Each structure stands twice: as structure tokens, then as C-alpha cells.
């Protein structure tokens, strides 16, 4: 088979057994891989509670993984989030995805619960389930170093072991399966780590067409000012957005009470370059190299992390922010939710945490001791426990990232329609509202945003299923990636067909969520954004969002999606109609 391997590996940790299975070809051609394949494989388990031993934890690569397609050495991890209760997928790059494909697999499905801590070691010719009591309680770097001889590593830290609801799974190279707490799902199974090694090659149907499409993509990368310009992400990494968000007066500050932080320049892209003298880093085989690390190899924080440990918590100390990021990576915490939970806690108690308070608070979170027991629940549950539920800045219990919705109305809508909760990556309207790609739109208008969000969600679901990096699409488009996919698999794909596949994936996710009790009431921003203005920092207020216009555009979104006014399905047979 070209592109795909056609094989998945099922591991039952309760029984201690593993077996390879053939994946029906229609599931591959109609769901691609990554997010789409994982969502389809969740069909039999989506009603289970996140910590039910039978809940699947699915690692899935795409048909371009294992080839030289730019930014395709990625995978998606899919399960149900313990933080939100929604269907949840997270994408991560690194050698793990490449080696999982080289082990002859398109997907790994883990169920059950081990009676004692274990690791899983995957090879092309077999699987071992090995005791890991000596690694339980260890930080990520220690775990990775201990397992390095087995190939690539995906591991949890103490946060995942202790059931922190926003625990990450960390790849050995430093990439994170962040958001939603899938590390806690892994920990509940008694699984400390998965290692994988392999040497099989991914076969390409049409090497000549593939090479041409690849060169087209690389040329578009070089021509993109967002990727390769003097202020592009290849040069400064994602913290280059710090100054842009400050200029647009939409940097979430003091738990979203304000929209401008006067000292954000302390941790901007140029400030990080001057203070840390970083070197370029990135996912395996990626030509963009958007990540930055210290000369010693320590990963430096991304935009969301610097902004949330910075402005959101009223902290301007770059060294403290870098240290917070380091602790999150070592212990396996999602830095966005960790920082946002600290900000909500700070507003409720009346004092935001000082820079020196943050490291011990993060450690308490991961270990679930003292104040960390409450902080480990995320901002929604914490705010409810403290009697101030309105101060959790979250949608569907997922904390909002570092774009204030009062400054970009497409983003406001996208936070709410996102199936996994308050996420900027499902549609990423920042691309056209702020970065003006592919075309600029008025960021203070809801006009046309329902249709734009719908198209973007479908496109990004396809991208997450290929699996490619979203940064690629600041230069290339689905047209070039459809050519790569057609050349790799020998199946004809057009941009429109990819968007249709994306639509199927998005609607399947919504069906799962609706079946688990989600509805229109969950597609809503916190009240603060409708009733309180933002501040620009120069005496001008950014007005709150017009609730009536928001509701009108949300209703349009439902109509475009073919949903009822509650955001769900009148036809209960939706799943039976899908491949």
C-alpha cells in the first residue's frame, strides 16, 4: 500500500496482550490519518468516561509521515478529555511519529489499565510490555534518558501520574501533546511511556509528481513573510507575536481584565533573542524550524506560554517565564491551562502570583499537594470551588489562549464552535484578522465570520489528519498538499475533497459531544467579554462584544453546518451514514 501501511496495533494493558489488525481501506481514504483516523476509531468508545479503563488512547500518523513531505513528521493523539469531557485530539511533531510509521503502523490503540506501572516498547517485529515501577514519579528528562536506547519516547511526568486534569504527554525531543489532559488518561492506564523504533520505508506511488509538489511547497515557504520574512516565525519563533498582539491591544492581561500589558516587550521575540542567544530548533525534518532553544538545548517558551505566564499573570520577568516553561515540560503540564488557572486563582484571591511564587505552585500542581490539589483541577473547577465561577476564562472548560476575543470577533466565534473547547487552532481566524492571510477581514465585525470559521475548521481538520503543521499554510495551501497526498497514495485528492473529509471529521466530533450532553449553552464565551471593555493602554477602551450579533452569527454557523438551533443533530443516524 502506498502512503499508508494499512495496519494498526491494539494493546490491552489489562490483559497484557497486543495484536496487529488491518485497517479497512475506506477508513484510510476517507479519514486520512491523524486526527481523522483517531476520531473514526473512537466510534465504539466515545461515550466512555475519560478514566474508564476501556477508554481508547489513540496515536495516529498520516499518509505523508515517513516521506519527505514538509512538516509531515507529526501524529495526533485522540481520546476523551478529562478536563473538558469533549472528544480531544492533540498534534505533535518529532521522531516518534516517523518511527511509529517505520514500525509499520498507521495507528496505535491502547486500552485497559495495568495493575502496576509499565512501559510499552514497539518494534517492527513485536511488542513488549515492561515493568516501570522504577520510572514512576520521575520527571520527563529522566524518563527519556532511561529509555533512549529503545528509540523514540512518548512519556508522562508526575502530572500525568497524579491525574492532573491538564497533564501533557511529552515527546522525547521536547514536543508536547498539550491541551485537554491526555497525559492524565495515559497515567490512569498505568502507562509511563511508549517507545518505538522501526526501519520500514513509506512507499510513494508517483515519486516524480511528489518531488515536484514538494518543491512547490518549499518555494512557497521561502516566499512567505510570515514564515521566512525578517520578522517571521523561522527567525524569532512564535514569540514574534508578542509585539503584534501588543500593537493590536489584544494581549490577555490579568486574567483577561485588560487587553494590554505595558511590559510585554520584556519577553518579546527580540527580547528573547537578546537575553538567551537562542539557536534554531524544530520538529524532525521540518524546514521551518520555528522553535528556539538555548545553547544548552533547553526549549524556550512559545508565544502562548510567554504571554500567559507574562501578561495574564502580571509578570514581566523573562527568566521567571522561561523557568515556568521548563518546569511544565519537565513535569508534564499544559502551560496554557497551568498559567490560566494561576491567573484565575490570583484574581479570586485578590493578588496575582509573583514571579517567585510560580515555580513552587507549578510543582504543587503536578504533585497535587497543598494548594496544588485545587489548582490541578483547572480554572473552571477551581473557580467553582472558590465561589467565583465567572472568573474562569474558558469555553467547555478549556482555558482560552493568548488572543483576547474582544480584539478579533472571528476568534470569539471560533473559541465557541471548537469541538475541544476554547482553542485557537481549530479555525485560527487570527490568520486573516491579524496576519491578513490569505485575505484580510475586519476584526471588529461578525459579518461573514460564520462561513469563514466553517471553511477554516474543515480545512484544519484535513490538515490535522494529513498530519501537517498549520504553519505550513502561511505559505502553501491545500492545493499543494493535495498534490503531495495524491502522489504519495496514488488516490486522487483535490482541495475540495480534503475539505469534505474535514467537514465529516468536524461533524463526527460534534456528534460525539452532543451525545455526551454538550449543546448550544456550551458554545459560549465567559460573561466578561460581553459586559466588560478591554483596555488599550493609552486611555482608549476596546468595547465588549455585542451579544446579539454574536448569537446571530452562532446561529448562522449552525445553519451552515446543518445543525439545529441547539447546535446538535435532528438526525440521530448521522454516524450510520458515514464511512
Q: What is the pLDDT of residue 430?
A: 86
H or E element that contains 303: helix 303-309
> What whole-number distance in Å separates Cα of residue 561 and Cα of residue 559?
5
Are 100 and 87 in contact, with CB atoms under 8 Å apart? no
Q: What is the pLDDT of residue 40?
A: 98
pTM of structure: 0.96
Q: What is the pLDDT of residue 278?
A: 83
Q: Are strands 394-395 and 291-293 parallel, antiparallel or unpaired?
A: unpaired
Q: Smallest Cα–Cα separation from 183: which of 173, 195, 171?
A: 171
Q: Phi and psi at residue 420, in whole multiples of 5°?
A: -95, 0
Q: Where are the alpha helices (DSSP H) in 189-302?
A: 207-223, 225-228, 233-236, 241-247, 269-276
> What whole-number distance in Å separates Cα of residue 334 and Cα of residue 180?
8
Q: How many CB atoms lie within 10 A of CB 275?
A: 14
Region 7-196: CATH code: 3.60.9.10
Cell digits of residue 136: 514512576
- State the first-to-last Cα distance of the chain, in angstroms, to the nearest integer: 20
Q: What is the pLDDT of residue 283?
A: 79
Cell digits of residue 198: 522501526
Q: Where are the alpha helices (DSSP H) in 106-206?
A: 140-147, 158-161, 182-188
With helix as H, strand as E and coil as C, how does 418-479 read? CCCCCCCCCCCCHHHHCCCCCCCCCCCCCCCHHHHHHHHHHHHHHHHHHCCCHHHHHCCCHH
pLDDT tens string, the chain, 579 residues long: the values are: 899 999 999 999 999 999 999 999 999 999 999 999 999 999 989 999 999 999 999 999 999 999 999 999 999 999 999 999 999 999 999 899 999 999 999 999 999 999 999 999 999 999 999 999 999 999 999 999 999 999 999 999 999 999 999 999 999 888 899 999 999 999 999 999 999 999 999 999 999 999 999 999 999 999 999 999 988 898 899 999 999 999 999 999 999 999 999 999 999 999 999 999 888 887 778 888 888 888 887 889 999 999 999 999 999 999 999 999 999 999 999 999 999 999 999 999 999 999 999 999 999 999 999 999 999 999 999 999 999 999 999 999 999 999 999 999 999 999 999 999 999 999 998 888 988 877 889 999 999 999 999 999 999 999 999 999 988 999 999 999 999 999 999 999 999 999 999 999 999 999 999 999 999 999 999 999 999 999 877 777 899 999 999 999 999 999 999 999 999 999 889 999 999
Q: Are strands 107-111 and 152-155 parallel, antiparallel or unpaired?
A: unpaired
263 Cα distance to chain centroid: 28
Q: What is the CA radius of gyration of the chain?
A: 22
> What whole-number distance in Å separates Cα of residue 197 and Cα of residue 64?
18
Q: 561: left (phi > 0), else alpha (psi -120 to 50), else beta? A: alpha
> What whole-number distance in Å separates Cα of residue 114 and Cα of residue 328?
26
Cell digits of residue 379: 480554572
Structure letter (DSSP) for residue 533: -
Cell digits of residue 440: 484580510
> What whole-number distance in Å separates Cα of residue 549 and Cα of residue 533?
16
Are 22 and 9 in contact, with CB atoms under 8 Å apart? no
Cell digits of residue 422: 476554547
Q: Smallest Cα–Cα separation from 321: which of 333, 297, 304?
A: 304
Are 458 and 496 in contact, with CB atoms under 8 Å apart? no
Are 86 and 108 in contact, with CB atoms under 8 Å apart? no
Are 480 and 213 in contact, with CB atoms under 8 Å apart? yes
Alpha carbon separation from 117 to 18, 111, 131, 161, 554 (Å, rounded): 17, 14, 6, 10, 45
Amino acid at each position: 500500500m502506498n502512503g499508508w501501511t494499512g495496519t494498526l496495533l491494539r494493546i490491552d494493558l489489562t490483559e497484557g496482550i497486543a495484536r496487529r489488525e488491518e485497517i479497512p481501506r475506506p477508513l484510510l481514504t476517507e479519514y486520512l490519518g491523524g486526527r481523522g483516523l483517531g476520531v473514526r476509531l473512537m466510534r465504539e468508545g466515545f461515550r466512555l468516561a475519560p478514566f474508564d479503563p476501556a477508554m481508547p488512547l489513540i496515536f495516529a500518523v498520516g499518509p505523508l509521515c515517513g516521506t519527505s513531505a514538509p512538516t509531515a513528521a507529526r501524529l495526533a493523539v485522540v481520546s476523551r478529555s478529562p478536563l473538558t469531557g469533549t472528544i480531544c485530539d492533540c498534534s505533535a511533531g518529532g521522531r516518534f511519529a516517523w518511527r511509529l510509521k517505520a514500525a509499520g503502523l498507521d495507528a496505535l490503540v491502547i486500552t485497559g489499565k495495568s495493575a502496576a506501572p509499565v512501559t510499552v516498547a514497539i518494534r517492527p517485529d513485536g511488542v513488549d510490555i515492561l515493568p516501570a515501577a522504577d520510572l514512576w514519579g520521575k520527571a520527563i528528562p529522566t524518563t527519556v534518558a532511561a529509555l533512549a536506547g529503545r528509540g523514540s519516547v512518548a512519556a508522562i511526568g508526575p502530572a500525568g501520574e497524579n491525574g492532573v486534569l491538564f497533564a501533557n504527554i511529552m515527546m522525547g525531543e521536547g514536543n508536547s501533546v498539550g491541551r485537554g489532559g491526555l497525559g492524565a488518561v495515559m497515567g490512569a492506564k498505568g502507562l509511563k511511556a511508549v517507545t518505538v523504533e522501526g526501519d520500514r520505508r513509506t512507499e510513494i506511488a508517483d515519486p516524480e509528481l511528489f518531488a515536484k509538489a514538494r518543491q512547490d511547497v518549499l518555494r512557497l515557504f521561502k516566499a512567505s513573510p510570515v514564515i521566512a520574512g525578517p520578522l517571521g516565525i523561522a527567525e524569532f519563533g512564535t514569540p514574534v507575536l508578542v509585539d503584534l498582539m501588543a500593537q493590536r491591544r489584544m494581549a490577555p492581561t490579568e486574567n483577561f481584565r485588560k487587553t494590554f500589558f505595558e511590559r510585554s516587550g520584556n519577553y518579546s521575540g527580540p527580547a528573547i533573542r537578546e537575553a538567551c542567544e537562542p539557536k534554531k530548533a524544530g520538529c524532525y525534518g521540518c524546514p521551518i524550524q520555528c522553535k528556539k532553544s538555548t545553547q544548552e538545548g533547553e526549549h524556550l517558551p512559545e508565544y502562548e506560554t510567554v504571554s500567559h505566564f507574562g501578561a495574564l499573570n502580571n509578570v514581566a520577568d523573562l527568566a521567571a517565564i522561561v523557568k515556568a516553561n521548563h518546569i511544565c515540560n519537565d513535569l508534564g503540564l499544559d502551560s496554557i491551562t497551568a498559567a490560566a488557572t494561576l491567573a484565575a486563582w490570583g484574581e479570586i484571591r485578590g493578588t496575582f502570583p509573583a514571579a517567585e511564587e510560580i515555580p513552587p505552585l507549578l510543582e504543587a500542581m503536578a504533585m497535587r499537594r497543598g494548594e496544588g490539589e485545587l489548582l490541578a483541577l483547572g480554572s473552571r473547577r477551581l473557580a467553582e470551588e472558590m465561589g467565583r465561577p465567572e472568573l474562569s476564562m474558558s469555553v467547555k472548560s478549556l482555558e482560552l489562549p493568548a488572543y483576547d476575543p474582544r480584539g478579533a470577533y472571528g476568534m470569539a466565534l471560533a473559541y465557541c464552535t471548537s469541538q475541544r473547547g476554547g482553542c485557537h487552532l481549530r479555525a485560527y481566524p487570527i490568520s486573516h484578522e491579524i496576519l491578513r492571510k490569505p485575505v484580510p477581514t475586519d476584526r471588529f465585525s461578525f459579518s461573514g465570520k460564520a462561513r469563514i470559521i466553517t471553511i477554516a475548521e474543515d480545512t484544519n481538520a484535513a490538515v490535522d489528519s494529513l498530519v501537517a503543521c498549520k504553519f505550513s499554510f502561511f505559505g502553501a495551501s491545500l492545493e499543494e498538499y493535495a498534490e503531495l497526498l495524491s502522489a504519495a497514495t496514488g488516490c486522487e485528492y483535490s482541495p475540495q475533497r480534503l475539505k469534505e473529509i474535514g467537514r465529516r471529521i468536524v461533524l463526527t466530533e460534534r456528534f460525539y459531544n452532543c451525545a455526551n450532553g454538550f449543546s448550544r449553552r456550551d458554545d459560549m464565551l465567559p460573561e466578561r467579554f460581553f459586559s466588560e471593555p478591554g483596555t488599550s493602554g493609552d486611555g482608549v477602551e476596546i468595547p465588549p462584544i455585542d451579544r446579539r450579533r454574536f448569537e446571530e452569527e452562532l446561529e448562522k454557523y449552525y445553519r451552515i453546518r446543518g445543525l439545529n438551533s441547539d447546535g446538535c443533530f435532528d438526525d440521530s443516524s448521522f454516524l450510520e451514514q458515514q464511512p
